[in-house]
């Protein structure tokens, strides 16, 4: 199986504290990989590094075998990566459909100046909104959506860019069961389309149900990895994370 | 009648400035106070072209946006990394530098005495000497600027600017080189502001550094906040109201020296009341 992301000895400091500490891991293509760990274990920092939000201090990162010395956020489109955020980050004072259109249209400023979204863009955006169940809300402002709907819109933006590698940072946090089911289904569909999903999540039932592979982090280090049912039964994991 | 044309010319000039300010601040969310500096650069280009080089003002109408664009691009390249209050302070710094240069580079700018005797525009064999003739040029330039701003706000570029205003870090994730967009918006806004400067210098035929201070930039803020952030019609409405309201003081018996001072108080009061009761302005849908 092809490895889409690989890190070797990855280190990230914050004021002398190791947020990510000598982390070596690999993520396989077309799989749902869960990342769990106590608060402050470095899960979100890892996603921030892999999506170009933070620079890393030491180590190596490979995307599909190619070494990336520096990951720049705007290169995500080139490498086919997309992400959601732990704290929702939408374009709040823009309409729902504009939140999708902005990720569909031209990136080059000069060409964007002369581009107006056409029928094609509208249809793509509406298809995405239908998929995440927000079609009826397309004319509303993003800030006026409920919390769960905002999470769906964030996922909608990822679907719109047709990312191959998708980082989802706690997409189920604070959602009611029906919304959880809807997002679970979207993630399963992504897997069926051979997309690679990296899921940071605290809900162990969801992890067991969805993930093919599980990575457990603690204090920035890799504590354990493997099949979810096996990893979640390891003594070290139980002690560090589940407190059992 | 000349007075009405005079007011219409001033409204047109401030309409251009407000539209440019709205592009940078309203659409892109860049808190800039450098609007008066770019306005001033346009005015000084017109003044220098007319008095030192003996060129027609219509040449300045082409040259000023280009010269201002180069200056704005140099500035914007370093400013593009800033956001919010840092951007504001950086642009304030530039405005202070502009004022210092305008006051002290006497051989070029005339220093504190300014530049007098700037020629009126001469086009198609006609010199636009009276307010009645000048208004056509002012409205024509305003129309061009309004069309450019409308075109930008309806384009994919405009939507990306709005997304930058909302959350530029999130937009980067989707493959946008946000700093390039910010630089482009800043440069276009500066170029458009310089057009107003050329018109102003040519209309008054005199400029000095006191005409392009932070007070002018605050007035531009008040205009777009009053009209409504991120709407072109709001910017125009703000310019119209904030020129007409102080002018109306003349007709209710205020002496000229008091009405001049009252003008600043009115702008200040309008800003305070808007922040308290209508932060979105008249036509606005957005908050700063």
pLDDT of residue A77: 86
Tell if the CB–CB gap between A112 and B177 is shorter than 8 Å.
no
Cα distance between residue A24 and residue A221, in whole Å = 9
Residue B87, C-beta contacts closer than 8 angstroms, at least 6 positions apart: B30, B31, B32, B79
pLDDT of residue B130: 87
pLDDT band at B276 (very low <50, low <70, confident <90, very high): confident
- Domain for residue B186, yes or no? yes
pLDDT of residue B129: 78
The three state secondary structure string of chain B is CHHHHHHHHHHHHHHHHHHHHHHHHHHCCCCCCCHHHHHHHHHHHHHHHHHCCCCCHHHHHHHHHHHHHHHHHHHHHHHCCCCHHHHHHHHHHHHHHHHHHHHHCHHHHCHHHCEECCCCCEECCEECCCHHHHHHHHHHHHHHHHHHHHHHHHCHHHHHHHHHHHHHHHHHCCCCCHHHHHHHHHHHHHHHHHHHHHHHHHHHCEECHHHCCHHHHHHHHHHHHHHCCCCHHHHHHHHHHHHHHHHHHHHHCCCHHHHHHHHHHHHHHHHHHHHHHCCCCCCCCCCC
pLDDT of residue B262: 76
| CB-defined contacts A:B, below 8 A | 94
Six-digit token pair at B130? 């009276």
Cα distance between residue A229 and residue B229, in whole Å = 54
Tell if the CB–CB gap between A73 and B169 is shorter than 8 Å.
yes
Angle at B243 (CA atoms; ends B205, B19), nearest 5 degrees: 85
pLDDT digits (tens, 9 = 90+) for B16-40: 999 999 999 999 999 999 999 999 9
Closest Cα to residue A41, out of A16, A22, A18, A59? A18
| Higher-confidence position of B166 and B126 | B166
Nearest to A116 among B156, B176, B285 (CB): B156
Mutation pick from A52, A55, A112, A158 vs chain B, by most beta carbons of B within 10 Å, is A112
Question: How many angstroms away from the CA of B193 is the closest CA of chain A?
Answer: 19
Closest Cα to residue A197, out of A188, A205, A209? A188
Question: Has residue A63 got a pLDDT over 80?
Answer: yes
- Domain for residue B287, yes or no? no
pLDDT of residue A44: 93
Mutation pick from A53, A87, A102, A155 vs chain B, by most beta carbons of B within 10 Å, is A102
A33 has which bridge partners? A198, A213
Which residues from chain A sit within 8 angstroms of residue B177, using beta carbons? Answer: 74, 107, 109
Which residues from chain A sit within 8 angstroms of residue B170, using beta carbons? Answer: 85, 89-91
- Domain for residue B218, yes or no? no
The mean pLDDT value of chain A amounts to 91
Question: Has residue B272 got a pLDDT over 90?
Answer: no
Angle at A233 (CA atoms; ends A227, A234), nearest 5 degrees: 95
Tell if the CB–CB gap between A93 and B285 is shorter than 8 Å.
yes
- Domain for residue B12, yes or no? yes
Task: Classify residue B125 as left (phi > 0), alpha (psi -120 to 50) or beta.
Answer: left
| Higher-confidence position of A91 and B247 | A91
Least confident of B188-202, B207-221, B270-284: B270-284
Cα distance between residue A23 and residue A44, in whole Å = 14
pLDDT of residue A38: 87
Q: Which DSSP symbol is given to A239?
A: I
Question: Has residue A244 got a pLDDT over 70?
Answer: no
- Domain for residue B70, yes or no? yes
Interface list for A 27-66 with B (CB within 8 A): 51-53
- The arithmetic mean of pLDDT across residues B236-253, rounded, is 84
With beta carbons less than 8 A apart as the criterion, state whether A111 and B184 touch.
Answer: no
Tell if the CB–CB gap between B159 and A105 is shorter than 8 Å.
yes
Question: How many angstroms away from the CA of B131 is the closest CA of chain A?
Answer: 35
- Domain for residue B254, yes or no? no
Cα distance between residue B214 and residue B202, in whole Å = 22
Mutation pick from A52, A72, A73, A75 vs chain B, by most beta carbons of B within 10 Å, is A73
Structural domains in chain A, CATH included, are 1-80+165-171+198-244 (3.40.50.300)
Six-digit token pair at A55? 């620079």
- The arithmetic mean of pLDDT across residues B118-127, rounded, is 86
- The arithmetic mean of pLDDT across residues B50-65, rounded, is 93
- Residue range of the domain that includes B71: 2-212
Which residues from chain B sit within 8 angstroms of residue A53, using beta carbons? Answer: 169, 173
- The arithmetic mean of pLDDT across residues B193-200, rounded, is 97
A162 and chain B in contact, CB less than 8 A: no
Question: Has residue B113 got a pLDDT over 60?
Answer: yes
Question: Has residue A243 got a pLDDT over 70?
Answer: no
Question: Has residue A129 got a pLDDT over 70?
Answer: yes
Closest residue in B to A142 (Cα–Cα): B166
| Higher-confidence position of A57 and A1 | A57
DSSP H stretches of helix in A105-211: 109-113, 119-131, 147-160, 177-192, 204-210
The mean pLDDT value of chain B amounts to 91
- Domain for residue B171, yes or no? yes
Q: What is the ipTM of this complex?
A: 0.88
Domains in chain B, number: 1
Closest residue in B to A77 (Cα–Cα): B175
Instruction: Indicate the burial class of B265 (C-beta count within 10 angstroms; 0-12, 13-18, 19 or more).
Output: exposed
Question: Has residue B171 got a pLDDT over 80?
Answer: yes
Strand bridging mode A58-63 / A66-67:
antiparallel
Six-digit token pair at B247? 């002018």
| Higher-confidence position of B82 and B164 | B164
Cα distance between residue A6 and residue A28, in whole Å = 9
CB atoms within 10 A of CB B132: 15
Nearest to A112 among B155, B173, B174 (CB): B155
Question: Has residue B167 got a pLDDT over 60?
Answer: yes
pLDDT digits (tens, 9 = 90+) for A5-51: 999 999 999 887 889 999 999 999 999 999 998 888 899 999 999 99
A62 has which bridge partners? A6, A67
- Domain for residue B261, yes or no? no
């Amino acid at each position: 199986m092809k490895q889409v992301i690989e890190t070797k000895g990855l280190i990230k400091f914050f004021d002398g504290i190791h947020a990510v500490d000598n982390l070596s891991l690999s993520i396989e293509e077309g799989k749902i990989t869960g990342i769990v760990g106590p608060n402050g274990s470095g899960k979100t920092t890892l996603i921030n590094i892999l999506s170009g939000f933070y620079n890393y201090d030491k180590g190596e990162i490979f995307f599909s075998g190619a070494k990336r010395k520096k990951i720049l956020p705007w290169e995500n489109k080139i490498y086919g990566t997309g992400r959601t955020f732990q704290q929702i980050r939408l374009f709040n004072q823009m309409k729902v459909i504009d939140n999708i259109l902005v990720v569909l249209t031209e990136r080059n400023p000069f060409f964007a100046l002369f581009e107006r979204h056409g029928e094609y863009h509208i249809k793509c955006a509406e298809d995405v909104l239908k998929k995440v169940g927000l079609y009826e809300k397309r004319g509303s402002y993003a800030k006026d959506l409920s919390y769960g709907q905002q999470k769906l819109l964030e996922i909608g933006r990822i679907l719109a860019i047709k990312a191959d590698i998708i980082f989802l940072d706690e997409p189920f946090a604070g959602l009611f069961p029906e919304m959880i089911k809807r997002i679970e289904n979207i993630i399963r569909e992504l897997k069926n389309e051979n997309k690679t999903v990296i899921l940071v999540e605290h809900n162990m039932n969801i992890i067991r149900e969805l993930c093919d592979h599980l990575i457990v982090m603690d204090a920035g280090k890799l504590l354990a990895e493997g099949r979810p049912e096996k990893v979640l039964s390891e003594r070290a994991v139980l002690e560090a994370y589940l407190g059992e | 009648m000349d007075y009405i044309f005079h007011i219409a010319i001033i409204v047109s000039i401030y309409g251009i400035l407000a539209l440019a300010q709205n592009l940078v601040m309203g659409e892109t969310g860049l808190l800039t106070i450098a609007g008066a500096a770019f306005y001033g650069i346009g005015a000084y280009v017109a003044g220098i072209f007319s008095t030192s080089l003996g060129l027609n003002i219509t040449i300045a109408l082409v040259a000023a946006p280009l010269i201002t664009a180069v200056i704005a691009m140099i500035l914007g390249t370093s400013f593009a990394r800033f956001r919010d209050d840092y951007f504001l302070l950086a642009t304030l710094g530039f405005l202070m530098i502009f004022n210092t240069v305008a006051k002290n580079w006497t051989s070029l700018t005339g220093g504190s005495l300014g530049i007098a005797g700037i020629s009126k525009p001469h086009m198609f064999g006609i010199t636009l000497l009276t307010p009645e003739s000048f208004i056509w040029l002012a409205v024509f330039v305003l129309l061009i600027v309004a069309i450019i701003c409308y075109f930008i706000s309806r384009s994919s570029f405009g939507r990306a600017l709005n997304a930058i205003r909302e959350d530029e870090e999130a937009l980067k994730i989707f493959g946008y080189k946000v700093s390039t967009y910010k630089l482009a918006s800043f440069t276009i806004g500066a170029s458009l502001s310089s057009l107003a400067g050329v018109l102003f210098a040519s209309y008054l035929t005199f400029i000095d550094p006191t005409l392009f201070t932070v007070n002018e930039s605050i007035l531009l803020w008040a205009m777009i906040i009053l009209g409504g952030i991120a709407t072109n019609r709001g910017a125009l409405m703000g310019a119209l109201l904030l020129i007409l309201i102080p002018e109306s003081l003349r007709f209710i018996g205020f002496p000229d020296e008091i009405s001049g001072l009252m003008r600043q108080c009115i702008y200040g009061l309008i800003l305070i009341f808007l922040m308290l009761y209508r932060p979105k302005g008249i036509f606005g849908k957005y908050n700063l």
